Amino acid sequence: MKYKVGNMQIERRIVPQLSSCLVFAVIALSTGCKQEAGSMPAQPVPQVEVVTVQTQVVPDEPEFIGRAEASRPVEIRSQVTGILKAVLYPEGRDVKKGERLYQIDPVPFRAAVASAKAKIAQA
């Protein structure tokens, strides 16, 4: 048998299931809402700071986070091979043409010069 509620038809076997769910929901909600007197301690009143609004001049100092890139990138390459003894400029500083950037260990070059002079002297 089917029951008609408004425009919906409900089968007879669904009605007991719906009514038992409804009863269970009412019982669950009613038991959860009961509180015993004095079971919850009184919460302390929160402290609130009150500030009076005042007008003031705020300087316009915009700050931006970004990354700069040179319009003409420059590549620094060595023209000789050797061991670097010192870096003569701090990274990021402007450098001028002809300025020394690195100090290379002179020992191998001095040995090569001495060897060449010895060969010339023998010839």
Q: What percent of the chain has pLDDT over 90?
A: 26
Residue 26: how many CB atoms within 10 A of its CB? 10
Structural tokens at position 98? 């002809």
Instruction: Tell me the pTM.
Output: 0.35
Handedness of CA 14, 15, 18, 19 (dihedral sign): negative
Please give the Cα distance from 72 to 62 (Å, whole number). 28
pLDDT in the model for residue 18: 77
